[in-house]
């Protein structure tokens, strides 16, 4: 038995050493206060977003985000439509009218460049009844889901705008699997960097489900990094944040690209795991005014980012902007508001590595 005074000294020394250890550890964001500056919802995948001041956040993403989708009819069936291959999708604007009961409507406005006098609108139920709708399988990025064909009047309207036959579908309550290999329980991925240790935080298969969003429930970007992209454009030009298709824009980061190493953030009581980079494609080069590939330097944003933003070893040819993020299964649905504080709870020591097979 140690004398009481020696026990007290040892206990005090241990406590002080622990506090010193904590002090020397990398501290999550100690500078400016981070806040949500913008919230975007995409009720119809690849059309223009609806900007909101608040939205209900769930483990599947914001409620009503990317629950509808368009497909082009081909001689062999149907082809998924995404803005990277169908830049004319940028000519469709969306807005949501919430009726207070969880139903509401989506208004789609079509304004074709060069024919601005011919504006067409369509109203769609936000939550259609699916009992009498025909099931239809949609396979996105090797992750299929059963959807429903909307009544012909909706597909016909979109077909008349595009000038070719399309199919308009609704996901309903169905969901797709997330195929990031390091997020699948039981996968042995010794080749993945130890930086991608998100498995302990995402253990429930029920959390690995998404809508028609490409790869994750949330895409989060930093406004500070967006400003860095603007600096790469000619003076007077500003990078359109919606070309990056974010759900949440965070302002207040001290330096561009800090978010590359954010591992976990907290908004209110909700924890969000920032599990993967978002690797970019030519969609960020599109001119949203014309619905065509951009010209000049604004049409070369992808090339500009490739110079120094190819930082993901799993997708080495693609530049990174933003973080694919997942709901911590311990969190419950919560309303996020513009202005809400964002706290960085954990940092990664190394970069995460892209692990979705066949997609980069």
141: left (phi over 0), alpha (psi -120 to 50) or beta: left
Alpha carbon 108 to its chain's center: 21
C-alpha pair distances (Å), 299 with each of 175, 286, 291: 34, 6, 12
Locate tokens 């954010």: which residue? 262
Tokens of 185: 């329980």
Q: Are the beta carbons of 227 and 256 closer than 8 angstroms?
A: yes
Tokens of 286: 């599109």
Closest listed residue to residue 327, CA positions, set 268, 279, 278, 280: 268
What local confidence, expressed as pLDDT, does residue 208 receive?
77
Domains and CATH numbers, the chain: 34-38+177-347 (2.40.33), 52-174 (no CATH)
Locate tokens 């080069």: which residue? 285
pLDDT in tens, 286-343: 999 999 999 999 999 999 999 999 999 999 999 999 999 999 988 999 999 999 999 9
Tokens of 148: 């429903």
pLDDT < 70 stretches in the chain? 1-32, 186-207, 360
CA distance 158 to 149: 13
What local confidence, expressed as pLDDT, does residue 74 receive?
97
What local confidence, expressed as pLDDT, does residue 30 receive?
53
Q: Please list, in sequence order, all residues whose beta carbon lies within 8 angstroms of the beta carbon of residue 337, skipping any fewer than 6 positions away.
A: 36, 39, 53, 54
CA distance 177 to 97: 29
Q: How many CB atoms lie within 10 A of CB 106?
A: 21
Q: How many CB atoms lie within 10 A of CB 172?
A: 17
Three-state DSSP at 225 gives helix
pTM (2 d.p.)? 0.88
């Amino acid at each position: 038995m140690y004398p009481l005074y020696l026990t007290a000294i040892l206990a005090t020394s241990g406590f002080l050493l622990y506090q010193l250890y904590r002090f020397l550890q990398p501290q999550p964001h100690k500078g400016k206060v981070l806040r949500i500056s913008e919230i975007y919802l995409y009720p119809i995948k690849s059309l223009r977003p609806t900007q909101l001041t608040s939205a209900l956040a769930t483990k599947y993403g914001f409620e009503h985000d990317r629950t509808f989708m368009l497909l082009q009819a081909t001689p062999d069936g149907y082809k998924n439509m995404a803005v990277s291959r169908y830049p004319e999708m940028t000519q469709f604007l969306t807005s949501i009218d919430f009726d207070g009961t969880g139903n509401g409507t989506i208004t789609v406005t079509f304004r074709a460049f060069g024919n601005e006098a011919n504006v067409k609108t369509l109203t769609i139920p936000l939550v259609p009844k699916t009992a009498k709708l025909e099931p239809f399988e949609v396979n996105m990025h090797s992750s299929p889901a059963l959807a429903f064909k909307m009544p012909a009047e909706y597909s016909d309207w979109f077909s008349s705008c595009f000038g070719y036959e399309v199919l308009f579908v609704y996901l309903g309550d169905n969901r797709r699997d997330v195929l990031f290999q390091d997020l699948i329980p039981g996968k042995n991925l010794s080749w993945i960097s130890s930086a991608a240790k998100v498995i302990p935080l995402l253990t429930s298969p029920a959390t690995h489900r998404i809508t028609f969003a490409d790869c994750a429930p949330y895409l989060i970007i930093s406004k500070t990094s967006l400003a860095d992209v603007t600096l790469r454009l000619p003076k007077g030009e500003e990078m359109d944040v919606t070309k990056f298709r974010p759900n949440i824009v965070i302002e207040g980061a001290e330096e561009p690209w800090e978010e590359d190493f954010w591992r976990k953030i907290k908004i209110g009581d909700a924890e969000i795991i920032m599990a993967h980079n978002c690797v970019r494609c030519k969609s960020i080069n599109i001119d949203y005014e014309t619905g065509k590939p951009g010209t000049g330097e604004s049409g070369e944003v992808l090339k500009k980012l490739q110079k120094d933003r190819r930082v993901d070893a799993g997708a080495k040819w693609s530049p990174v902007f933003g973080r694919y993020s997942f709901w911590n299964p311990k969190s419950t649905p919560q309303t996020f508001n513009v202005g809400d504080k964002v706290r960085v709870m954990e940092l990664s020591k190394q970069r995460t590595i892209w692990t979705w097979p066949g997609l980069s």
